[in-house]
Amino acid sequence: MNITLQDIGRRYNREWIFRHIDYTFSFGNRYAILGPNGSGKSTLIKVLTGALTPSEGTLGYPKDGKEVEIEEVYRHTAIAAPYVELIEEFTLSELIDFHFQFKPLLNGFSLEAVKECLGFGENVFQKEIRHFSSGMKQRVKLVLACCSDSKILFLDEPTSNLDKVGEAWYLDLVEDTVKDRLLIIGSNQEHEYAFCNEYLEIMDFK
């Protein structure tokens, strides 16, 4: 499954955030959307996921010679981002069980394997998410996205709130879970995307 952009633009009120993007995100590649804070990286990712409608241009999701309808794109994607909210009243075990009722597990993973990926002590799984630190919540977001069986994986500012140990953990998680997927990362920190093989500079489309 690819994502094709033809003359894509998005504006807020009368101000264009980006314009005239012609680009193809191809399955199997690892992409980094680069730019300073506030430049529009997250807005572009929201457009790519179908959460926002482009103000101009055409967005396509070709898969096996057919176009996936925008209403069905969510079935093929997973995302971890600062603006993605967790259900804070759930315990961690409840949240994991709930999430994977809607998203299939990545091939080779079980619920127990997902829990092991988090690197938390056993007692943590019975705590409500609202009691978690920001770093713990970020780990949960990343694991839920990376361990979901989706053709396209979006990671926006993936090491937000993670310390150096957490950053190393993130790199291991990505390496273990991104095979045979289209990976798109929004970032301005090189350690988050150094393994990517394609780059899109958002400032080139102002």
All structural domains of the chain, each given as residue ranges with its CATH number in brackets, are 3-205 (3.40.50.300)
Integer angstrom CA distances of residue 172 from 35, 167, 195: 24, 9, 12
Residue 147 near residue 181, CB atoms below 8 Å: no
**Structure-derived torsion over alpha carbons of residues 1, 99, 148, 69, reported in degrees to the nearest 10:** 0
Q: How far apart are CA 70 and CA 86, in angstroms?
A: 24
Alpha-carbon gap, residue 17 to 90, rounded angstroms: 36
pTM over 0.85: yes
- Residue 122 pLDDT more than 90? no
Statement: residue 164 has pLDDT above 90: yes
Match 């958002």 to its residue by tokens: 202
- Residue among 185, 85, 104, 91 nearest 147 (CA): 104
> What residues does 9 pair with on adjacent strands?
56
- Look at residue 154 in the predicted model and tell me its pLDDT: 98
Query: Would you give the DSSP letter of residue 46?
Result: H
Would you say 129 and 92 are in contact if contact means Cβ atoms under 8 Å apart? Answer: yes
As a whole number of angstroms, the distance between CA 70 and CA 92 comes to: 31
pLDDT at 198 over 90: yes
% residues pLDDT > 70 (the chain)? 100
Reported as a single tens digit per residue, the pLDDT across 124-151 is 999 999 999 999 999 999 999 999 999 9
pLDDT band at residue 71 under the 50/70/90 scheme: confident
Distance (Å, whole) CA 184 – CA 178: 10
pLDDT score for 64:
87
Q: How many CB atoms lie within 10 A of CB 153?
A: 22
Predicted local confidence at residue 23, as pLDDT? 97
Give ∠ CA 92-82-136 in degrees, rounded to 5: 35
The encoded tokens of residue 138 equal: 């970020």
**Helix orientation angle between 111-118 and 92-102, rounded to the nearest 10 degrees:** 130
What is the pLDDT, as a whole number, of residue 70? Answer: 87
pLDDT at 16: 95
What mean pLDDT do residues 94-103 have? 95
